[in-house]
Amino acid sequence: MSIARRDFLKVVGGASVAGSLAGYGVNVGAVTVSVPAFGFSDDSVPMNAANLCPMPTMVSEAHARYAKELDLSLSSATRGEVEAQKEVARSKLAAMLGTSADELAIVRNTSEANNVIVQGISLKEGDEVVLWDQNHPSNDVAWEVQTARSGGTVRRFSVPTDSGSIDEVVDLFVAAVSDKTRVVSFTHISNITGFRTPVAEICAAIRARKDDVHIHVDGAQTWGAVDIDLGAIECDSFSGSAHKWFMGPREVGLLYVRERHIDDIWPNVVSIPWGGTKDDAPKGARKFDALGQRDDAAVASLADAATFHEAMTPAGIEERSMMIADRLRAGLQDLGVTFVSSANPAFASSVVILSAPGENSRKLVGQVFDDSGIQTAGTGGLRMSPHVYNTEDHVDRVIAAISKSRAMLS
Ligand SMILES: Cc1ncc(COP(=O)(O)O)c(C=O)c1O
């Protein structure tokens, strides 16, 4: 074990959460704990949060415990206890995101959350849907499928990654809105370029331009990484996946729908716990998570993942993740390599992407892993997305490996 790794494991402490988090080892906000909370080994380190995150051991153990409890007894008492964790999770997430629990649906992933909005909004002939051209397919081609049915139209617009100011970016969003615009849908942080949109300013400006536009924000790359206050962002809906930056269970996701829109959006799936008539819908946004039998153990462990976040605080997590990403950016800048992602602090995120020819990207991911033990991704170039579990040592190792393979970059 390297010195840096040993130091990293010593840093964290925090009496208030030491019990529940016993096992974590990094400085996040005010929290300090002493042993690694994640099970991965030092020679296979994830730096790919934009795709998938490991769960902290306390969450994967809780998940296994709930599953075992159900296998030992499927009595209504045991099932009720496990299922009750879903409401615990909903309340904890609502408190962290600045919403009410009734505005949150616990769905399966961002793709599903996006599609509740895409397929559930009533569009009519001539309605226009405005999309940022960096949206994920579940928030892009999904709209084409919907407008082919409804007679609406899709219009896409671009934002240069080398944009200089927030005003410049906001103006591009507003200019894309016309009198026919019914929906504007965009990604908070792009998985393709790592560009972080000034979401609050954009939503406020779109609202001022046309008040009746539904604004949907895809938060797959922000929920769990960024301290988000949905009360301060004038969007109408927001989506995310627990298995990405939230470090939660796989195939669990989040959909926020502002209260005044819940009645107007049709659910894609109607099943238990919906009641016996069409008017017997579960309360609030719960109508979007009436998906029939779920993996209740996974859903329950979302509450434990939320406890993990509460302890470190979303602000502490954002600060730590960005600190590590900034160190990575600075080290790579010293190598003189070309970035896809923005280095402008107004738009930079924890998704750091280097330019690489498509045919080299996969090979680079393999070589970097062989040389550093760090897992990156070949998405949009060579993509690194460090999170709170990454250390200065991981960053230095990945930079050294990239330096060795730099001839393969663009
Ligand atoms: C911005 C964005 N939206 C949606 C998704 C889809 O997420 P999921 O596969 O968890 O549904 C992704 C996945 O990478 C993404 O980056």
Indicate the number of domains in the chain: 3
Find out whether 193 and 341 touch, Cβ atoms under 8 Å: yes
Structure tokens at 176: 């894309």
Distance, in Å, from the CA atom of 18 to the CA atom of 184, rounded to the nearest integer, reads 43
Whether 187 lines ligand 1, by a CB cut-off of 6 Å, is yes
Whether 115 lines ligand 1, by a CB cut-off of 6 Å, is no
Distance, in Å, from the CA atom of 236 to the CA atom of 339, rounded to the nearest integer, reads 33
Residues 279 and 340 both lie in one domain: no
Residues 302 and 329 both lie in one domain: no
Structure tokens at 330: 């600075």
Residues 254 and 376 both lie in one domain: no
What are the φ and ψ backbone dihedral angles of 239, each rounded to 5 degrees?
-130, 160
Find out whether 109 and 241 touch, Cβ atoms under 8 Å: yes
Beta carbons within 10 angstroms of residue 275's beta carbon: 11
Structure tokens at 77: 């008492």
Orientation angle between helical segments 296-312 and 57-72, nearest 10 degrees: 150
Distance, in Å, from the CA atom of 384 to the CA atom of 1, rounded to the nearest integer, reads 23
Residues 341 and 295 both lie in one domain: no
Residues 33 and 44 both lie in one domain: no
Looking at residue 317, which CATH number applies to its domain? 3.90.1150.10
Ligand 1 binding pocket mutation candidate from 108, 138, 238 (most atoms within 8 A of CB): 138
Residues 354 and 305 both lie in one domain: no
Whether 341 lines ligand 1, by a CB cut-off of 6 Å, is no
Task: Pick the residue whose CA is nearest to atom 16 on ligand 1.
Answer: 191
Task: Pick the residue whose CA is nearest to atom 7 on ligand 1.
Answer: 110
Can you tell me which atom of ligand 1 is nearest the CA of 253? 10
Whether 221 lines ligand 1, by a CB cut-off of 6 Å, is yes
Type of residue at 226: V
Residues 156 and 197 both lie in one domain: yes
Residues 33 and 45 both lie in one domain: no
Whether 135 lines ligand 1, by a CB cut-off of 6 Å, is no
CA–centroid distance, 12 to ligand 1, in Å, is 31
Residues 244 and 178 both lie in one domain: yes
Q: Which of 293, 309, 325 is the last residue of a domain?
A: 309
Residues 204 and 282 both lie in one domain: yes
Whether 239 lines ligand 1, by a CB cut-off of 6 Å, is no
Distance, in Å, from the CA atom of 407 to the CA atom of 357, rounded to the nearest integer, reads 11
* Residue-number span of the structural domain to which 117 is assigned: 76-309
Find out whether 191 and 50 touch, Cβ atoms under 8 Å: yes
Whether 138 lines ligand 1, by a CB cut-off of 6 Å, is yes
Residues 238 and 369 both lie in one domain: no
Whether 85 lines ligand 1, by a CB cut-off of 6 Å, is no
Looking at residue 188, which CATH number applies to its domain? 3.40.640.10
* Beta pairing, strands 181-187 & 153-157: unpaired
Is residue 273 reached through a cis peptide bond, with omega within 30 degrees of 0 on the bond before it? yes
Can you tell me which atom of ligand 1 is nearest the CA of 138? 4
Orientation angle between helical segments 314-335 and 296-312, nearest 10 degrees: 80
Whether 136 lines ligand 1, by a CB cut-off of 6 Å, is yes
CA torsion, ordered 110, 252, 269, 280, to nearest 10 deg: -120
Give Cβ neighbours of residue 116 (< 8 Å, ≥ 6 apart): 105, 107, 255, 257, 265, 267, 268, 288
The whole-angstrom distance between residue 60's C-alpha and the CA centroid of its chain comes to: 19
Say what the pTM is. Answer: 0.93
pLDDT tens for the chain, 410 residues: list them: 332 333 333 333 333 333 333 444 566 666 654 336 888 888 999 999 999 999 999 999 999 999 999 999 999 999 999 999 999 999 999 999 999 999 999 999 999 999 999 999 999 999 999 999 999 999 999 999 999 999 999 999 999 999 999 999 999 999 999 999 999 999 999 999 999 999 999 999 999 999 999 999 999 999 999 999 999 999 999 999 999 999 999 999 999 999 999 999 999 999 999 999 999 999 999 999 999 999 999 999 999 999 999 988 999 999 999 999 999 999 999 999 999 999 999 999 999 999 999 899 999 999 999 999 999 999 999 999 999 999 999 999 999 999 999 999 99
Ligand 1 binding pocket mutation candidate from 132, 136, 223, 351 (most atoms within 8 A of CB): 136
